[in-house]
Structure 1
């Protein structure tokens, strides 16, 4: 048990370069600088070099997950910033749970709308392809009729 605690602390003390985070999360340096500018990440600086903490790495992971499911950066920042309230994360967990459930419902609604749109498009393709076959068939028989003097 003591060994894992020591390992956890050493991981938490570790810093990451912008290059390391870009490689690990497949993002660009510009993306990390943008998140820093928006107050989502808070790297330390040594001259021109940005050093990202274990916390920044964890926040980046959460930012990317949030974006993947459609949260805005403002919503993500709001949820992440609630961590600092020092209430045992109670507020953060409550707010996040509510937002996650709302987002899940919105995604489910979008899925139904997409399924309807796909179904409509499939029906339209069937109709258009049928009309296309009719026109192409008429076009190929018309020159034959003309050649036969019909």
Structure 2
């Protein structure tokens, strides 16, 4: 709870809408976590907010948008369509795992002085991709809960 919040807890009415997302899109009758009001501005969490924003920007404006969006919103892109159409949560978890392995290899190579900058930047991009896959996993699991579907 932020100091300026007048109320917090189960009896506190929510004063801000959770999201302008489409119906059922992390607006659940069975939320994974309790709803929170957040502008990603909690004191002491600036580094986390920045890391999450970098991943968001990569997906919305960078590689993700260039390669996969085709002018579709995130929840209609292949990252979730593949999971919905048979691959399930294992696809998303596996892709995140693959990104983590790739970034680990890049950081190992970045220990060599002449490759440090190139591989460090590439590793950061892989980390951002892993965050996006894990966010898609949250969305997918929430959809399964909302629609009483198998994961």
TM over 0.5: no
Which structure has more strand as a fraction of its residues?
Answer: 1
TM-score (norm: length of structure 2): 0.30
**Higher Cα Rg: structure 1 or 2?**
1
Q: TM-score, normalised by structure 1?
A: 0.30
Q: Which has the higher contact order (CA 8 A, sep 6+)?
A: 2
